[in-house]
């Protein structure tokens, strides 16, 4: 397996949607390729960091304003 072939399957590997045979091939490539190993580990970490950190906090008071807007809309008929 070449690095390009590995890369083409990188997302499937990260998303755990590869067959057992393909996984074995990918693992074999990783064992001998530092470049792809680093790419795989750091790409997975990238996703994990974005999933686990809130980078846009909900502004204070927004929920209340939304609630009032919905209630106002509701008075017109809901």
Partner 1 sequence: MEFPQPKAMATIQPIAGENEQHPDVALVERVRNGDVSAYDTLVRKYERQVFRIAQHITQNREDAEDVMQDAFLKAYEKLDQFQGNSKFYTWLVRIAVNESLMRLRKRRTGKMVSIDEDVETDEGNVPRDLADWAPDPEQNYTQAELAEILRKTIQGLPQGFRIVFVLRDVEGLSTEETAETLGLSVPAVKSRLLRARLQLRERLSRYFRRKKGGEK
- Residues lying near partner 1 in the complex (CB under 8 A) are found at 3-4, 7, 10-11, 13-14, 16, 27, 30-31, 34-35, 37-39, 41-56, 58-59, 62-63, 65-67, 69-71, 73-74, 78
Taking the complex as a whole, the smallest distance from the CB of residue 1 to partner 1 amounts, in Å, to: 14
Taking the complex as a whole, the smallest distance from the CB of residue 18 to partner 1 amounts, in Å, to: 10
Distances (CA, A) of 36 to 19, 47, 48, 52: 19, 17, 18, 24
Helix (H, G, I), strand (E, B) or coil at 43: helix
């Amino acid at each position: 397996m070449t690095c390009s072939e590995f890369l083409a399957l990188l997302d499937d590997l990260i998303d755990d949607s590869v067959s057992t045979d393909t996984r074995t091939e990918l693992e074999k490539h990783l064992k001998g390729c530092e470049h792809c190993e680093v790419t795989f580990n750091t790409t997975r970490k990238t996703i994990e960091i974005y999933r686990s950190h809130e980078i846009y906090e909900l502004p204070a008071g927004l929920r209340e304003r939304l609630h009032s807007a919905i209630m106002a809309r509701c008075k017109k008929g809901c």
